[in-house]
Amino acid sequence: MTTVVLKQATILDKSSSFHNQKVDIKIENGTIVAISSKIETKDTDEVVEINGLHVSQGWMDSSVSFGEPGYEDRETIVNGLNVAAKSGFTTVALQPNAAPIIDNQALVKFVLNKASNNAVSLYPIGALTKESEGTDLAELFDMKNARAIAFGDYQKSMSNANLFKIALQYVQDFDGLVIGFSQDSNIKGKGIVNEGIVSTKLGLKGIPTLAEELQIARNLFLLEYTGGKLHIPTISTQKSIELIKEAKAKGLQVTCSVAVHNLVLNDEVLTGFDSRYKVLPPLRDEATRLALIEAVKNGVIDCITSDHNPIDIEHKKLEFDLAKDGTIGLESAFGALQTVLPTEVIVEKLTAAKSIFNVNNPNIEIGNQADLSLFTTNEDWTFTKENILSKSKNSAFLGQNMKGKAIGIMNNGQLIINN
């Protein structure tokens, strides 16, 4: 029998009777058996005693890419889950952008099998269309039965409005969730960064905010027509916020996320033409960044994702316009967010994806399963290459100031600490 005791941990969990209390927490075989001001420990117990330790319900990242199968040189599922654990995440939703694309029951089962018996719970997102090509719907019902939690084509917009409408209608038969990445590829054209003053100065082709907003407006019109549930990932413009706010006011079942890098960085970092900052949607201007932070605080934006996307050096360290979009983000997510948001808001937005994706979220009470994120909130530090745990090193946060640290997780009966 494994016993873990967390000493003098401040609980941040508004749904718990121990919220904001500094206590000892005793966990036996993955279940919380005692919470009190002082718990005696035995020599055989695993004791976690860290200055300034905080504990919350386990965080979920609603968008991670691990590469496997097919791109194991970028990341493997086992190492990716280890990165997630040491970054404070107990649960991740895995994007289907592997090779082959995760668009059928067999591949959903393959990634689940790779992730079995892990401290981190992995939930696959099935591709919405076959091979994520946007022409035919994938085997959605079969993938749902194989335990896919939602359906979307990673960083690809559905240009066929009728197919998107059919998808929204079809998944209602089994209470499915459609993920609609929003960027009109015709309006994006050859754009690679946010269209604005910085893109003009640098001579880089711009992506107008309109490319995102038109697609969101269209998808929300379709949702209003069909009913059902839609999740809009990684929104990045002020008008997108307004459109989603209006849709929620109408009672539509729509949720949305924002990526950590869009909350922390703006397009002024592009002046050195460093391809680590090439992401999709692109980094926007400072006014938009501040508007996104405000939308997180006032609840229009439901959850925050790292949008973790490992890319090998051959595809990332290139001329800016040739480099692939994406940054790793798990390792830096919490420390970076702490520089722009209050801790309680961060915890709320990192756990909120569980209700969106219908994932169990036990609160911190005696008798409940221990699904816990461990972290500190105060120390100031700088994110360097030594802090990268992923196989790929494409982090937009190198050199960024951080505040507080993710310590690890207690989940599925396993304690993982980032030493």
CA pair distance 196, 209, nearest whole angstrom: 10
State the chain's maximal CA–CA distance in angstroms.
Answer: 65
Which helix (H) or strand (E) is 113 found in, with range? helix 105-114
**What's the token pair of residue 398?**
């190198």
CA pair distance 49, 91, nearest whole angstrom: 24
* 372-382 vs 303-305, strand pairing mode: unpaired
R_g (Cα) of the chain, nearest Å: 21
Q: Which residues contact 343 (CB under 8 A, 6 or more apart)?
A: 12, 54, 377, 404
307 is known as an active-site residue: yes
Cβ atoms of 278 and 193 within 8 Å: the answer is yes
Distances 407 to 7, 30, 203, 331 between C-alpha atoms, Å: 14, 18, 42, 11
The H helix count followed by the E strand count for the chain is 14, 18
CA pair distance 386, 418, nearest whole angstrom: 12
Which residue in 103, 267, 307, 371 is the catalytic one? 307
CA 322 from centroid of its chain's CA atoms = 25
CA angle 371, 374, 376 (to 5 degrees): 155
* 3-12 vs 46-48, strand pairing mode: parallel
Q: Which residues are catalytic?
A: 307
